[in-house]
Structure 1
Amino acid sequence: MKILCWVILLYCYPLACLADLAYINQIPDFTQTDVAFSGSGNGQQFCAPVAVSNSIVLLSGNTQEQIDLIALLASSEYMNTSLKNGTGTTGVLRGVNRIAEELFGGYSKLEYQGWRKHPAKYSTGIVRPEITKLKNAISSRSAAWLNVGWYRYEKARDQYRRIGGHWVTLVGADNEHLVIHDPSPRAGRVFSNEFVEYRTIDSGMLVGDKKGLPVEAKGYLMLGKGFHLKRGTDFAIVDGAVFFRL
């Protein structure tokens, strides 16, 4: 009986692992600078509406009009994306809430983990995005988006100073990687599943001008090999994650 149980476990376990990668080739990987409509600023600050649109395409089954969806999400009635400052966490949450109500008639979950300012109704009270939750976030009825902070490291003070941020689409995971679709052209202009290594920070402080900082760095996820750093930065740290389920 014990042998039979082990056979069943060994047979099924690889299938469970594969399930975490089941949608990586079905979720689009749109490049934000391919946005070229009037008033878009050539998509330079459109990482958030693009990242969210990638997932909405899968959830809705509509692959034909992604550029129109991006324009809608970026508009003042949804995310209110700024051509100077991009899209904050509040904008992403409000935009996802509205588009989900319109496309799907509602949803079962929309919540945030992280240190950035956001509406209380989406709060989980968790300021450090949880790797276990991230690794189980993607399905045919659920999505997640990462807000990655760009940081410069001050070794003498053991401080990570935030100098900007970026939104990416989480599309899957395996035992050692998060799989990401990055809207930035520095990640390439063709479809690419980025298998990104990560580690948990064990000391220091996250500092900067944003509300919510400073905060202890210990426990936050740092993205490593496989992720494309913005020029002039030392580290990419997951400041927050938005989780959505129909």
Structure 2
Amino acid sequence: MRAHRPFRHLASQLAAAGVHVLRFDYFGTGDSAGDLRDADLAGWTQDIETALEELKDMTDARRVGLVGLRLGGTLAAAVAARQPGGVDTLVLWDPVVSGEAYLRELERDALPAVPPAAGSPKPCAELEIQGFPLTPAMALALQALDLAASAPGLAVPLRILVSEGEDACRRLRALLDGRTSHPVEVAHVPSPPCWIEDTRFHAGAVPVEALRRIVEWFR
């Protein structure tokens, strides 16, 4: 939600390195049309596929890549798995690994407050997450996400950037080890979460080292 600033910097750095870049907002978010309450994950994955086609049409690019942060990374992996050979570079930046864990994380920030529940969350009412609605249908779709389930279909080298700790890197490597037909590179680049607002700028922080690593992967 606060990642506009770091992604703008990333786009500028990639462009300076000679890489064509297309940033877009999902249906119902940012400057895109639609109501967020009408959005769903299937539509957002279609948005990614449409963006890929648009970039190819505009630039005649023969090779394309995806960079996705958090939920965007998980959706990018799903798109790459559905399009063998259609994505040449795939970078997942702190991707959502478990939909259930992600939903619990969102519920902790929700209004009205949702007390922690044992076992899997069972969303039954619309919640407000930092001013954005989370419908029951979207919550159920998020709950079903599983990054490891997309891994076997990936026909592209997978690069994952983790800004948390080394333990998170090890867990992710163990989760994906042997599940893909191509190598998986997990890089630990400590940095503040760029989707959390920096109160000094009222925007996400700019993780310089993380951006540098992503640009290197696209060279």
* TM-score normalised by length of structure 2: 0.32
* TM-score normalised by length of structure 1: 0.30
The structure whose Rg is larger is 1
Higher helix content, 1 or 2: 2
